[in-house]
Structure 1
Amino acid sequence: MKNIKKYITALGLLTAVVSCDNLQDLNVNPSFPVDVSAQALLPPIEQQMAVGLQFDNRYLGRYVQYFSNATTGNEWDRLGYVANNDQGGEIWKMAYFSIGLNLTRMQEKAIAEERHDITGISKVIRAWSWQVATDYHSELIDFDQAFTQRMSFDYVGQDKVYAEVLRLINEGVADLARTDGKVSATYAAVGDKMYNGDRAKWTKFAWGVVARNLNNQINKATYDPAAVIAACDKSLASNADNALINYNGTVSADSNFNGPQRQNFANFRQTDFMVRVMNGTVFTGAIDPRMSRILAPSIGTSETAPASAANPDPTKYTFVGNPLNSTASSTAGPSRIPNLWGTFVQGTPTTPGRYIFRDKANFPLMTYAEIQFIKAEAAFIKGDKTLALAAYKKGIDASIDFVNSNTVVSTTYPITTTITASEKTAFLANVNVVPAEANLTMSHIILQKYISLFGFGNLEAWTDMRKYHYDNVNIYKTMVIPTGSGLFADNGGKLPYRVRPRFNSEYVWNFGALQAIGADKVDYHTVEMWYSKP
């Protein structure tokens, strides 16, 4: 019996020794590998590029008056913020967590494997993420400290961020041009769901980031419109180059954040200003054909299901907008305002939705129309009105085509058709929309760009608004800027120019660094951006 016990004890010790040699295997989960390929990291990174914008677009939409809350008293409708809360913090999370270290790992893997195309893509995405984050927040974490083991992080000014974006773009474009090593469109396409491994399109996207970066600086003495135009000419060349994040829309997790299945926009209504820039109020009688496709019509005098489905009459609908911080026009009656899906009830998986507010709608990160409006703005500042007018007209044309590609045809309320060729031609021929060269104004350019970005390019629309310092006399005509009690109390009578860093990372763990840049002040969000100052 003693010998048996000794044998068992010895066997146990031997087993323990053998197990110790393979302890590392205990931490390996084949379903969730720790070491993955560069191509496998790319799809979730691209998805998070959209998610960061989508989450925060709900708040930016109020700042730029695309939409308002259906009830009064909302902090964002009053151009403020919610203290001690992560509302408005998703772009920060996207840059430093959701994309953050994953992008670093993807770049390291790509470099080690000589996948120079993926290395280039990673640098372009990083540049894009810094550009988005700084245009939203201003100061960012010092690049040498980000993604390290430090317990606190210092900030660098926006001028340094803008320079870093251009440095990364230059490196990324150079890597995308390489043909040595293991460059392979087929390999990259496995993970690249935005451009299918097409290096030429990624290069165009990169130059679009440059165009944004340079054109944001119109108030600087160093602003060079010729450099902006050159960047635009190297950027997106048609709607086929649009940077789109795709959604299947079958389940909530794979549905567009704007769509009815996700329920994120049930309490939002289009604003009165958004209606005015499309219903002929601002553009002197020119009713924009995109209005009935991207805005939600009120029932008006029309039936929800017309007597003749083959001959519906959408002209009987009315388009009403809700002012910021108001419920005056959104509660009842034939002129009550639907939500952005075109319904008066909560969304469901079977709700069709409208425009980009659909479960299966692709989400744009950048469009050809935007690039053309940037080119028009730069050419106008340069004094080349011929070029400005040509780019401006191309921008409207491309925007109409983009709207058509996202239009769900319906013969019941809300009745919707695609924009016909004759409608487009008539709109572009209207001198109140596309004037003679001598009559083109910056307001024309910025407001048509504003329309083209509705619902997805909220950050770019806000960037323009801050560049022109909320000018509602010369640029944003008829826009009503909140004042008095309509403005958030902590603003101190000022308008917002930045969004505070994410609460649950910075204000909880990095407060000392925030104090150094003044972000501990309640009106920090009203401090003007570096790019918008002379």
Structure 2
Amino acid sequence: MKKILLPFIMLGLFSFSITSCDDYLDVNKNVDAPDYVDGYLYLAGIIASYQDMYYDLRGIAPLAQMMGTSNSSYDNFAYHYYVPGSDAIGQNWRMVYWEQGMNLENLINQSVEAEDWTLAGIGYALKAYSWDLLTKQHADLPLTDAFVPGLLSHNYDYQKDIYPVVREWAYKAIEYLEMDDDHDYGNKISSTDFIYFGDKDKWIKFAYAVIVRNLASLSNKENFETAYAQELIDCAAKSFQSSEDDATATVWGGSSTASQSAYNNFWGTYRSNLSYTYFQHDYAVQVFTGTVPKYDEATGEKLPVENNEYHPYELAEKQIICDTMINEAGHYDPRVAVKLATTDDPYYENIDNADSIKARKYYGGSFGGTVGPIGTTPSFFGRTKSSAYTGNEHDGIGRWLYRDDAPYILMTCAEVKFCLAEAYWKLGQKDNAFSAFKEGIQADMDFTAKYIYEGKEGEATGGDKITTGVFTSLANEYVAGPYVEGLEMSDFSLSHIMMQKWVALYPWGAQEAWVDMRKYHYDIAYSGDYPSDGNGWDISKVDQKWDSDDSKVFKGLYLPPAQVSGRKITFDTKNNGSPCYRIRPRYNSEYMWNVPSLESLVPIPGTADDYQCSIPWFAYPGELPSSN
């Protein structure tokens, strides 16, 4: 087993260009094949594999209505349908079981045996993070059987049993990281740890953040307040406290001069993965610009407004993030100028002019095309054409997180604070929820500003269309304004917490945004414990709560086959009317050789046409039913 894994380790290490030739000369005690690798040598490759999260975002960001896509391999996920025989959105599966797989197991086991407590703690923290990510994406997984030598098939563990193991690993990480470790690692950890470079205190905070993330997904379960909330609150207090604690994996970049393409960020211009195939969804634009429309609840149609080309429809009276009164201080959210794209100011002539920036127009695409309800969306680089890094007018190395040398984002302080705010809200501690809510917004402002890459004034050569200074000034106005500090406590709602969290996760954290949408059942209107056929949907449409319903969490969110204009399509008949609740296991693994184990799953067998619609345990208010 060990012998076949070393090539990936080396690939990861070469990809981040850090170890010496001498290290490689020492790894083989067997002259014919590698049979042992020092624990620390695994670390770089394990961390490098987190770019796979961005591969899977190609399908999950459309599921969370953060992105639309015209990529024929992934647009089916925008419509909640699985294409049989496809490995699409199977990259995290591959990462956990193969790329990290025995590499991570060896790192942990060898480090524990050698009493390298710091390295063992980092390993357990990464293991907890990765398995939490994987179970939220796919639900039930082979865990107990995962790395048992000699097995030709692997039984599945249910999510309810996986969740506490994830937390157990995170606590084990904390235990090891807090132990006295007098080993002299030299630069063995600092030069292979591309997240915290060996900072034990930050790794401890990271492990607590994993626990917070894990528990936050259970916030709609009927026993959350008694079984999980206080643990979440306690762990949040020991976790990230500012954006300086954010967990990010360094990417070196280099664009065309890099010796390997993978030195560059997956979303950068050089690798052309975003290009003009992925684009901002119309829901994202509505949320970020305060233009969630009002619908006629009798017909589901939008209400036209005359003589207003940019806002041709009546807007909902209550916007959650911001509104269109941009000339009043605090009503404009400057994160739109960084996280979303606009074709305005193509030559970067007004990137330091706040009034010009606030007046820009934003358009979102549909689920599967760039033409949206009010216009055509640009690429994430601000042009209505595929990204390019050369030519008279081009996108350079990109901008913000869509940049060749931008880091991969794993978790942020803002996310932790919004998880904390939600927990306080569920406990009825509204004042504490409001304080955490405000801290979350400030943390996301800091996070957003950190990665601004300013364009050059007068040149159409890429970069962000706002300076860090102007962004910070507008961010301070927004935080002091009516949607944050000035928000009346009587108006403060769960929607404010969850939608601000959605904005903070945009688009790097679409996996967690999709968790939130699923645990609140996409705001489907149903009676009883959870929606089902005939009670929330039928074969032709999904019945969702109207935005006027106080219990609706994500205002403006409607699934593709909902009762409103622009959404009146249908799911594939194999869904039986249901939205997608999980991603199927990787086809080239499970459906090629582990079919009997899939067939045994309940409430819907893993081989059923609608297995992707099987509600995961975290989204049931109680326990998993034995049948559908």
TM-score (norm 2): 0.75
* Cα RMSD after superposing both structures: 2.3
Aligned residue number for residue 19 of structure 1 = none
Q: What SS class does the counterpart of residue 240 from structure 1 fall into?
A: helix
Q: What SS class does the counterpart of residue 439 from structure 1 fall into?
A: coil
Describe how 1:66-215 pairs up with structure 2 within 5 A.
66-70=66-70, 74-180=75-181, 182=183, 184=185, 186-215=187-216
CA deviation after TM superposition for structure 1 residue 180, in Å: 4.2
CA deviation after TM superposition for structure 1 residue 527, in Å: 0.8
CA deviation after TM superposition for structure 1 residue 345, in Å: 3.3
Mapped to 2, the partners of 1:67 and 1:276 lie a distance apart of 13
Aligned residue number for residue 342 of structure 1 = 382
Q: Is it true that 1:228 corresponds to 2:280 in the alignment?
A: no
Aligned residue number for residue 467 of structure 2 = 417
Aligned residue number for residue 617 of structure 2 = 530
Q: Is it true that 1:488 corresponds to 2:488 in the alignment?
A: no
Q: What SS class does the counterpart of residue 269 from structure 1 fall into?
A: strand
CA contact (8 A) 1:39 1:187 kept: yes
CA contact (8 A) 1:114 1:183 kept: no
Mapped to 1, the partners of 2:443 and 2:30 lie a distance apart of 55
Which of 243, 261, 264 is matched with 2:270 structurally? 261
Aligned residue number for residue 436 of structure 2 = 391
Mapped to 1, the partners of 2:590 and 2:447 lie a distance apart of 38
Q: Does the C-alpha gap of structure 1 residues 185 and 438 become closer, same or farther in structure 2, counting only changes over 3 Å?
A: farther
CA deviation after TM superposition for structure 1 residue 64, in Å: 0.3
Aligned residue number for residue 54 of structure 2 = 54
Q: Is it true that 1:498 corresponds to 2:574 in the alignment?
A: no
AA partner of residue 117 (structure 1): T
Mapped to 2, the partners of 1:309 and 1:441 lie a distance apart of 34
CA deviation after TM superposition for structure 1 residue 218, in Å: 1.6
Q: Does the C-alpha gap of structure 1 residues 71 and 150 become closer, same or farther in structure 2, counting only changes over 3 Å?
A: closer
Aligned residue number for residue 6 of structure 1 = none
Q: Does the C-alpha gap of structure 1 residues 153 and 307 become closer, same or farther in structure 2, counting only changes over 3 Å?
A: closer
Q: Is it true that 1:449 corresponds to 2:491 in the alignment?
A: no
CA deviation after TM superposition for structure 1 residue 492, in Å: 1.5
Aligned residue number for residue 403 of structure 2 = 358
CA deviation after TM superposition for structure 1 residue 113, in Å: 2.1
Q: What SS class does the counterpart of residue 77 from structure 2 fall into?
A: coil
Aligned residue number for residue 276 of structure 1 = 286
Deviates further, 121-130 or 138-147 = 138-147
Q: Does the C-alpha gap of structure 1 residues 226 and 489 become closer, same or farther in structure 2, counting only changes over 3 Å?
A: same
Q: 1:85-125, CA deviations, whole angstroms, 9 ceiling, x for partnerless residues?
A: 11010111111001011001111221232211111111121
Q: Is it true that 1:295 corresponds to 2:300 in the alignment?
A: no
CA deviation after TM superposition for structure 1 residue 186, in Å: 4.7
Q: Is it true that 1:245 corresponds to 2:242 in the alignment?
A: no
Deviates further, 33-42 or 203-212 = 33-42
Mapped to 1, the partners of 2:279 and 2:347 lie a distance apart of 23
Q: Does the C-alpha gap of structure 1 residues 86 and 177 become closer, same or farther in structure 2, counting only changes over 3 Å?
A: same
Q: Does the C-alpha gap of structure 1 residues 425 and 510 become closer, same or farther in structure 2, counting only changes over 3 Å?
A: same
Q: Is it true that 1:458 corresponds to 2:467 in the alignment?
A: no
AA partner of residue 237 (structure 1): Q
Q: Does the C-alpha gap of structure 1 residues 306 and 355 become closer, same or farther in structure 2, counting only changes over 3 Å?
A: closer
Mapped to 2, the partners of 1:56 and 1:384 lie a distance apart of 36
Q: Is it true that 1:27 corresponds to 2:32 in the alignment?
A: yes
CA deviation after TM superposition for structure 1 residue 470, in Å: 0.6
Q: Does the C-alpha gap of structure 1 residues 309 and 60 become closer, same or farther in structure 2, counting only changes over 3 Å?
A: closer
Mapped to 1, the partners of 2:199 and 2:35 lie a distance apart of 28
Q: What SS class does the counterpart of residue 202 from structure 1 fall into?
A: helix
CA deviation after TM superposition for structure 1 residue 329, in Å: 3.5
CA deviation after TM superposition for structure 1 residue 130, in Å: 1.3
Q: 1:456-495, CA deviations, whole angstroms, 9 ceiling, x for partnerless residues?
A: 1111111111111111641111122111644233221111
Mapped to 2, the partners of 1:308 and 1:198 lie a distance apart of 40
CA contact (8 A) 2:170 2:207 kept: yes
CA deviation after TM superposition for structure 1 residue 438, in Å: 3.0
CA deviation after TM superposition for structure 1 residue 311, in Å: 5.9
CA contact (8 A) 1:127 1:166 kept: yes
Larger relative CO (CA 8 A, sep 6+): 1 or 2? 1
Mapped to 2, the partners of 1:388 and 1:76 lie a distance apart of 34
CA contact (8 A) 1:65 1:273 kept: yes
Mapped to 1, the partners of 2:104 and 2:76 lie a distance apart of 34
CA contact (8 A) 1:145 1:153 kept: yes
Q: What SS class does the counterpart of residue 190 from structure 1 fall into?
A: coil
Q: Is it true that 1:401 corresponds to 2:446 in the alignment?
A: yes
Q: Is it true that 1:476 corresponds to 2:554 in the alignment?
A: yes
Aligned residue number for residue 40 of structure 1 = 41
Q: Does the C-alpha gap of structure 1 residues 194 and 311 become closer, same or farther in structure 2, counting only changes over 3 Å?
A: closer
Aligned residues: 500
AA partner of residue 127 (structure 2): R
Describe how 1:375-390 pairs up with structure 2 within 5 A.
375-390=420-435
Aligned residue number for residue 509 of structure 1 = 593
CA contact (8 A) 1:117 1:183 kept: no
Q: Does the C-alpha gap of structure 1 residues 315 and 216 become closer, same or farther in structure 2, counting only changes over 3 Å?
A: closer
Mapped to 2, the partners of 1:83 and 1:214 lie a distance apart of 32
Unaligned runs of 5+ in 2: 1-28, 292-318, 324-330, 391-395, 524-544, 562-567, 622-628
CA deviation after TM superposition for structure 1 residue 55, in Å: 0.7
CA contact (8 A) 1:185 1:198 kept: no
CA contact (8 A) 2:265 2:407 kept: yes
Q: Does the C-alpha gap of structure 1 residues 515 and 358 become closer, same or farther in structure 2, counting only changes over 3 Å?
A: same
Aligned residue number for residue 428 of structure 1 = 479
Deviates further, 238-247 or 176-185 = 176-185
Q: What SS class does the counterpart of residue 241 from structure 2 fall into?
A: coil
Mapped to 1, the partners of 2:55 and 2:35 lie a distance apart of 28
Q: Which has the larger radius of gyration?
A: 1
CA contact (8 A) 1:260 1:348 kept: yes
AA partner of residue 338 (structure 1): P
CA deviation after TM superposition for structure 1 residue 36, in Å: 2.0
Mapped to 2, the partners of 1:136 and 1:309 lie a distance apart of 39
CA deviation after TM superposition for structure 1 residue 238, in Å: 1.3
Q: Does the C-alpha gap of structure 1 residues 421 and 346 become closer, same or farther in structure 2, counting only changes over 3 Å?
A: closer
